[in-house]
Amino acid sequence: MARTVLVTGANGYIGNAVARAFVRAGWITYGLVRSSASAPALAGEEIIPVVGAIDDQSSHETILARLPVPLDAIVSTTEATFNYLPHYTNLVALFRTLAKPTVSAGAPKPLLLFTSGCKDYGVGPHIHGTPGLAPHTEDAPRNPPPPLAARAENAARIFDHSDLLAPVLLRPTNVYGRSSSFYAGFLQVAAQAAAAASSSETKNPVLIVPADPNFVLHALHVDDCADGYVSLAEHPRRDEVEGHVFNISAYRYETVDEVARALVREYGIKGGVEYVKPDEVKPGDNPWPPLLIDFPQWTGSAKLRGVTGWRDRRPLFSEALHVYRQSYEVAAGNELTARMQDRVASVFQGFDSS
């Protein structure tokens, strides 16, 4: 009998990738979205759309009525970055509502794959070439930037709900590919630098980078990230995943310089890369989104690899930049991508103002 999973935020960047990964793995996959306008796109991907509002607890029973009993797994990929606790509280209320019929039927508790993020650990500081450099592991202390403090604190409390659920906390790195999410910032800044060549004042555009070239960047393709979720859901030993934290990250990190030089090649920026001190760039003249090139962090995923055998397969961002640029530019005309990028922009704006 096919297993069943509900993915919240199934029209979002990570949520949609996760839902598609479960479909590929043979699960009957339900996708929770707020608007019926998103339903046809999900159905086209063989994801069963469920329309409902997480933050309206009166709608939770309606959501429950659209789902099967037993429900094998729930994947949570939504958060309210700058007003975290109210949304988290509503998520927990929804998950408990959805789990009760399954537990009452005598079935195993639904596995809950709950998403936080690697920025919970804070800046490394991870600088390539530093003696003794080592990645953040799942046991590393949490030291997030202030805007993410509520997430780091409350996401870890998901384990308090093990009476009805089998919680697993996931901390993925940044992700790229397709519409690119936060990594679209690299492509946008490089495109701006290349476009400067068309102005009469700038014959040899330069990619200005106000960061240490050896700062660590660690990200993985969004589809590899999604497969990490599936690997945990399908692991035969639930005791090896329930109650655990898992990082999801690529097999190695890149550096700011690796990515910058790849951008220069891809966009034909004839002046190359120029590294400057952050205080040498006026805030209004700095096109880089916050926490993109100035948040050096290396996050290890040895635990996930050792437990489930998962591994990333897609080339690193700098290795296949042309592929990822093409995909982003095609996706940029998509209405769903536009909504995703609006959300990304609002998050960046929130960090700027914090």
Q: In degrees, to the nearest 5, what angle opens at C-alpha 260 toward C-alphas 315 and 210? A: 140
Low-confidence ranges of the chain (pLDDT < 70): 197-203, 283, 333-354
Identity of the residue numbered 292: L
Measure the CA–CA gap between 179 and 230, rounded to whole angstroms: 21
Residues with Cβ < 8 Å from 336, sequence gap 6 or more?
11, 16, 38, 41, 179
187 within a domain of the structure (yes/no): no
Q: What is the phi/psi pair of residue 215, to 5°?
A: -60, 140
The total of structural domains in the chain comes to: 1
Owning domain of residue 33: 4-179+220-251+298-316
Residue 351 confidence (pLDDT): 46
Identity of the residue numbered 43: A
Q: 205: cis peptide before it, omega within 30°? A: no
Residue 37 confidence (pLDDT): 94
Q: Decide if 302 contacts 137 (C-beta within 8 A).
A: yes
Residues with Cβ < 8 Å from 252, sequence gap 6 or more?
316
CATH of residue 234: 3.40.50.720
Q: Decide if 45 contacts 25 (C-beta within 8 A).
A: no
Residue 102 confidence (pLDDT): 98
Residue 279 confidence (pLDDT): 87
**pTM for this structure?**
0.94
Residue 197 confidence (pLDDT): 64
289 within a domain of the structure (yes/no): no
62 within a domain of the structure (yes/no): yes
Query: Which of 71, 88, 82 minimizes the C-alpha distance to 4?
Result: 71
DSSP secondary structure letters along 325-338: HHHHHHHTTSHHHH
259 within a domain of the structure (yes/no): no
Q: Decide if 16 contacts 41 (C-beta within 8 A).
A: no
Could you give the 3-state DSSP secondary structure of residue 248? strand
Residue 303 confidence (pLDDT): 98
81 within a domain of the structure (yes/no): yes
156 within a domain of the structure (yes/no): yes
